[in-house]
Amino acid sequence: MSLLATAPASWSQDGTVTVKRTGTGICHDVSSRHYERVKSFKPYPSMQACLDDGGRKPKK
């Protein structure tokens, strides 16, 4: 069984979170100035996956 098949779908292949969705539905990717501050979140493999699940981009 490969590592990819056993890794949760919401994590990248190397085990890091690519996008974090907060409880208020804001999707933060690594370029977001708040990414490191977000501690309570649902992880996603991409911004598009987060948006498709009902999240939104942060306001600029």
**Domain ranges (residues) in the chain:** 3-52
The one-letter amino acid code at 14 reads D
Q: Answer whether residue 1 shows pLDDT above 50.
A: no
| Alpha-carbon span 37 to 54, nearest angstrom | 21
Q: In 3D, which of 1, 56, 33 has the Cα closest to residue 44? A: 56
Residue 57 has a pLDDT of: 97
pTM for the model: 0.72
Q: In 3D, which of 4, 52, 33, 29 has the Cα closest to residue 41? A: 29
Q: What is the pLDDT of residues 5-49, one digit of tens each?
A: 333 444 556 666 799 999 999 999 999 999 999 999 999 999 999
Residue 44 has a pLDDT of: 95
58: left (phi over 0), alpha (psi -120 to 50) or beta: beta
